[in-house]
């Protein structure tokens, strides 16, 4: 199947200018008919799969939203830029309500990538693309004003100028874990709780079945939103000029899904629909991860891929040779500190637990709103768990775990000491060691020390980007400089509208106000410079 896909795509795709739409949904494993789960009707996603390429081995590099988005937007591992702890500068209200001292010792900070790392949409915008985001940013850092032409509830490709190529993100939130909370309005009931499959690590109770069924109902509602976006592309005559990328930000928002290092937390649906039916109906089983998205999008746009990006190009004419492994991290979740690393090739998953005295299921206050958590606690208290439920009830973790999904799709049989898999264990362990060393895993440091020593360079507070220096030459051109290495510089005329990215000297229009700001990711933005032109 993989060979067929490569033959179709590599011969057909060229670097002509093509629009790109991301449809990003939240907290959803591949619980879809096109992935073999026909519990809920999803005709619009089924259509995408028929008309596109379905990836069977795609993973989030971390099983929780904000760190995952930091990787998507920068093309860097969260552990390379200090974004691995959920969250950096926005403590959980639920955690603080439970314990006002939950975040003591953790400074308010943002991820700070190495100088020069930028959100990949800046490269698109510099090349003339219109970039919109509807609407989450949530990157573990405040995005510079140069990242999007528009970001918010009304951002849309229809706001672009003429036939300007566009990159448009639509983030559909209805499948978020909060969609199961009792205080949330439920979607239309479609799936009968009696018809759902209960994973073996859950107790089979009415409450568990109800939460699973409601999750499927949320998926059905989300599918309708996908259809609406596709209809808009058709109405505008753009569907056959646009690459559509559909994916989820991590696994399902139920216990042992979201925040879990297992496939239930990292394995995501990924479908790419190409213009003119390229690769329609094919399947690609190569390992793909979020760190690969930024370089791939830039390549598909016909732009060079910056050397600092840590992923590889997995689709299109310039696709790299498939990489054998996906690397995964899970660290602090809200106020609960942990450190787990994993590597998978799609079949085998090797897990290394750095804090073995912690339970596998994070006691996160926010997640306690999921109704079935009451039955999880009851299972722990009963002393009557099944063999497959050991991960749910154990108060500690082994140092290492190894799973073979070919015979154990739910990853509940730890084969770390199985002599038949000794070579697999050695290979994956060595690959994980090499990745940790290659990327300089910042999660190996205590969080406060990481922030002050590595992200802030020894300072005690968040650095501020230097105020830009605006110079006007005798020929009327404006040059803008910023002393902070790696800062993006944005400018605009008037009080509203998108910010332009400064790349080279430009002429000033007459009789207008210009505002300039500089911002290095992870630093406070500079103070603004405002000047009136003659």
Which residues are the active-site residues?
65
Cα(269)–Cα(55) distance, integer angstroms = 7
Long-range contacts, stretch 125-130, CB < 8 angstroms, 24+ apart: 125/149, 125/501, 126/501, 126/503, 127/301, 127/303, 128/164, 128/165, 129/164, 129/165, 129/166, 129/167, 129/301, 130/157, 130/159, 130/160, 130/161, 130/164, 130/165, 130/166, 130/167
Helix (H) or strand (E) holding 207: helix 206-235
* 3-state SS assignment for residue 524: strand
DSSP codes of every residue in 21-61 = EEEEESS--S-SGGGT--SS--HHHHHHHHHSEEEEEEE-S
Residue 313 · residue 292 · CB < 8 Å? yes
> Between 373-382 and 206-235, two packed helices, what is the crossing angle to 10 degrees?
150
Among 360, 319, 325, which Cα is nearest to 339's?
360
Left (φ > 0), alpha (ψ -120 to 50) or beta: where does 533 sit? beta
DSSP letter at 84 equals: -
Residue appearing with tokens 């009931």: 189
Residue appearing with tokens 């559509």: 244
**The two three-digit tokens of residue 464, written as one number:** 């501020």
Contacts of 214 (CB under 8 A, 6+ apart): 179, 180, 186, 187
Span between the terminal Cα atoms of the chain, in Å: 64
- Cβ-count burial 467-500 (b if 16+ within 10 Å, e if not): bbebeeeeeeebebebebebbbbbbbeeeeebbb
Q: Which residues contact 379 (CB under 8 A, 6 or more apart)?
A: 203, 385, 389, 392, 393
- The 3-state DSSP class for residue 101 equals coil
User: Tokens 């109405």 identify what position?
Assistant: 235
- Exposed/middle/buried for residue 368 (C-beta within 10 Å: 0-12, 13-18, 19+): middle
Supply 477's token pair: 């051109």
In the DSSP assignment, the letter for residue 346 is S
In DSSP terms, which residues pair with 330 in a beta bridge? 340
């Amino acid at each position: 199947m993989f060979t067929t896909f490569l033959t179709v795509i590599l011969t057909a795709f060229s670097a002509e200018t093509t629009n790109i739409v991301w449809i990003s949904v939240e907290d959803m494993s591949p619980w879809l008919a096109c992935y073999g789960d026909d519990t809920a009707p999803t005709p619009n996603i089924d259509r995408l799969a028929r008309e596109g390429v379905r990836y069977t081995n795609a993973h989030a590099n971390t099983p929780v939203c904000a760190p995952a988005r930091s990787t998507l937007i920068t093309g860097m591992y969260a552990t390379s830029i200090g974004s691995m702890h959920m969250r950096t500068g926005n403590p959980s209200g639920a955690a603080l309500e439970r314990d006002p001292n939950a975040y003591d010792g953790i400074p308010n900070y943002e991820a700070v990538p190495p100088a020069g790392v930028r959100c990949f949409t800046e490269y698109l915008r510099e090349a003339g693309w219109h970039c919109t985001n509807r609407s989450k940013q949530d990157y573990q850092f405040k995005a510079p004003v140069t990242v999007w032409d528009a970001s918010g509830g009304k951002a849309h490709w229809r706001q672009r100028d003429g036939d300007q190529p566009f990159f448009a993100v639509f983030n559909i939130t209805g499948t978020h874990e909060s969609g199961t909370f009792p205080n949330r309005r439920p979607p239309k009931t479609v799936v009968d709780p009696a018809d759902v499959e209960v994973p073996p690590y859950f107790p089979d109770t009415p409450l568990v079945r109800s939460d699973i069924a409601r999750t499927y109902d949320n998926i059905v509602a989300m599918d309708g939103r996908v259809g609406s976006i596709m209809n808009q592309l058709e109405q505008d005559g753009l569907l056959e000029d646009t690459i559509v990328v559909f994916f989820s930000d991590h696994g399902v928002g139920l216990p042992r899904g979201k925040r879990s290092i297992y496939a239930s937390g990292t394995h995501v649906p990924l479908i790419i629909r190409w213009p003119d039916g390229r690769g329609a109906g094919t399947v690609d089983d190569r390992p793909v991860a979020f760190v690969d998205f930024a370089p791939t999008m830039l390549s598909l746009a016909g732009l060079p891929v910056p050397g600092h990006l840590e992923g590889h190009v997995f689709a299109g004419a310039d696709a790299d040779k498939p990489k054998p492994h996906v690397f995964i991290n899970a660290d602090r979740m809200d106020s609960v500190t942990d450190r787990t690393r994993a590597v998978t090739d799609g079949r085998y998953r090797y897990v290394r637990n750095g804090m073995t005295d912690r339970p596998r299921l994070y006691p996160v206050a926010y997640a306690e709103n999921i109704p079935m958590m009451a039955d999880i606690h009851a299972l722990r208290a009963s002393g009557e768990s099944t063999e497959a439920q050991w991960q749910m009830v154990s108060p500690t973790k082994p140092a290492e775990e190894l799973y073979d999904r070919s015979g154990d799709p739910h990853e509940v049989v730890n084969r770390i000491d199985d002599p038949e898999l000794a070579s697999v264990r050695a290979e994956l362990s060595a690959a994980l060691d090499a990745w940790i060393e290659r990327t300089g895993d910042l999660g190996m440091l205590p969080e406060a020390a990481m922030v002050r020593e590595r992200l802030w360079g020894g300072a005690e507070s968040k650095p501020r980007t230097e105020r830009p220096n605006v110079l006007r030459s005798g020929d009327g051109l404006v040059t803008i400089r910023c002393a902070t290495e790696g800062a993006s510089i944005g400018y605009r005329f008037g009080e509203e509208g998108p910010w332009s990215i400064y790349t080279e000297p430009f002429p000033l229009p007459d009789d207008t106000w210009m505002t300039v700001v500089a911002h290095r990711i992870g630093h406070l933005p500079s103070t603004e410079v405002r000047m009136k032109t003659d």
